[in-house]
Amino acid sequence: MKNKLLNITKYSALTVAMLSSTAQAISFSEGDWTMDINGIIGGYYTQTECKLDANPSAWSTFSACAGSEDGQETASIQNGFLPGWINFIATTTTDSGLDIKAHFGFSPGTSNPATSGGQAARFAGAVAVNDVRNLYLSVTSDMGTLKIGRDAAIFQVDATFSDITVPSVGTQANTAGGLNTTFGAVATGYTFMSFQPQISYSSPVVNGLQGNIGLFQPLAIQANFDAPIYNVTDSPQIQGSVTYSIEGGSKLWASFVTQEAEMSEALGGKSMRAKGYELGGKLVLGDFTANLSGFKGDALGDGVMFLGALDAAGEAVETSGYLANVAYKFGANKLSAQYGITENDDIDGAKNESFTLLYARDVSPGLLWTVEYTAHTTSQTGFGDAEANTVSTGMVLFF
């Protein structure tokens, strides 16, 4: 079981899904323990042109061009959707047959930091741009895996895996690195799974079928960083999923998230339950791959969980969306196309859309070169459109 565990956990969940070729990690053993070290490092040149109509729509927390300075064109050298990543994974098997794993994953960024919002605040300083995404203990037996700590969440994790821009750039390149990473297709087709504190359980895989359930650190349910806010949380967030893997790489999945929170007594003590549901599937036919997933939520948020989840009156906002892509691999080359949309069903015509064309080439084992074009549009009835067009190229190394 130990060798199987090492193969499964060699990389963090997000990087496993996007590896373009076999990469080698550093591994050594001492006594009963094995330490595996692996990571990601890369960077991209991005050029974003913003086109803002008169009175442009900005209904979403992650509207097009929201992070650019005065809606101007932006050039940057920065991380893509993946940050830098260094993983230290210690594993052992006990005499009773339990596989134990401890995972520390640190995710620094390449960008010059900002002391305040907007690229105009960028300076050549040494303030850390960092993120801890993995810090957990897991115990695996024939009964499944118990995980305690911080790692990728369950809701929409497979949609995140399916995003073709994970090893590239996607949306929000115009922030010029202010977010540590770009945003891929987050908020334009799915809700980012995030890396969250959790106690979760994954069942064994039986004939391709697996269940996952977890208790997660509860989060504030809020508007776009503004009041009103439901931030009194006396019960955990719950997430779960069922997946069915098919021989050859195809897959079906469904997931959910639910959480209750209250306003403070000073604001009336009103309660709110946020919830979201997702269905998705992946089809693999030889060198051809297609993914389709869709979600619907109440007070779910418009890109990151429970952020942008409320209107100005503190009522739940209903959102929905889907992400669809196709890819064809020929030799060391891969061509992909993707469309995603997130809609606010309570605002007439409110849409956040992205379209991406991506060329990727395996330069050598673990080294990927990409060229990408992404168009990101935010629209709303009665308002002009906001559009960000980004061209990018760069390389990422998985080791």
Alpha-carbon distance 219 to 196, whole Å?
A: 10
What pLDDT is attached to residue 13? 41
Give the single-character DSSP code of 69: S
In whole angstroms, what separates CA 262 from the centre of its chain?
27
Distances (CA, A) of 144 to 57, 99, 155, 205, 387: 47, 10, 19, 8, 46
What pLDDT is attached to residue 23? 41
Q: Residue 277: is its pLDDT beyond 70?
A: yes
Find all residues with CB under 8 Å of 227, minimum gap 6, and list them.
none
What pLDDT is attached to residue 61? 86
Q: Residue 2: is its pLDDT beyond 60?
A: no
CB 163 within 8 Å of CB 190: yes
pLDDT digits (tens, 9 = 90+) for 186-202: 999 999 999 999 999 99
- Sign of the four-CA dihedral 329, 330, 334, 340: negative
More confident residue, 178 or 8: 178
The 3-state DSSP class for residue 18 equals helix
Q: Residue 4: is its pLDDT beyond 50?
A: no
Strand partners, 369: 361, 395
**Residue boundaries of the structural domains of the chain:** 2-398
Nearest to 356 by CA among 322, 390, 329, 387: 390
- Name the pLDDT band for 114 (thresholds 50, 70, 90): low
Retrieve residue 210's tokens: 């697996």
Average pLDDT, integer, range 330-342 = 98
What pLDDT is attached to residue 226? 67
Average pLDDT, integer, range 132-147 = 97
Q: Residue 17: is its pLDDT beyond 60?
A: no
Find the angle CA(62)-CA(268)-CA(320) to the nearest 5 degrees: 30
Mean pLDDT of the chain: 88
Q: Residue 3: is its pLDDT beyond 90?
A: no
Alpha-carbon distance 286 to 231, whole Å?
A: 48
How many angstroms separate the most distant Cα atoms in the chain?
69
Spell out where the chain has E strands: 26-30, 33-52, 74-78, 85-93, 99-106, 132-141, 144-152, 195-202, 209-216, 221-222, 229-230, 237-245, 251-262, 271-285, 288-298, 318-330, 333-344, 350-364, 367-379, 386-398
- CATH class held by domain 2-398: mainly beta
pLDDT digits (tens, 9 = 90+) for 202-225: 999 999 999 999 999 999 999 976
More confident residue, 8 or 249: 249
DSSP letters along 266-326, please?
A: GGT--EEEEEEEEEEEEEEETTEEEEEEEEEEES--SSBTTBT-B-TTSPBPEEEEEEEEE
Nearest to 121 by CA among 72, 176, 180: 176
Output the pTM of the full model.
0.90
Nearest to 249 by CA among 282, 279, 280: 282
* Alpha helix positions (H), the chain: 2-9, 13-18, 157-162
How much of the chain exceeds pLDDT 70, in percent?
A: 86
Average pLDDT, integer, range 131-146 = 96
DSSP letters along 74-92, please?
A: EEEEE--SS--EEEEEEEE
- Name the pLDDT band for 22 (thresholds 50, 70, 90): very low
In whole angstroms, what separates CA 206 from the centre of its chain?
27
Alpha-carbon distance 242 to 238, whole Å?
A: 14
Strand partners, 376: 354, 388
- Sign of the four-CA dihedral 273, 242, 138, 192: negative
Give the single-character DSSP code of 209: E
- 6-15, 68-77, 304-313 — which is least confidently predicted? 6-15
Nearest to 358 by CA among 166, 110, 156, 160: 166
Retrieve residue 257's tokens: 């998230």
Alpha-carbon distance 342 to 345, whole Å?
A: 9
- Sign of the four-CA dihedral 232, 180, 192, 116: positive
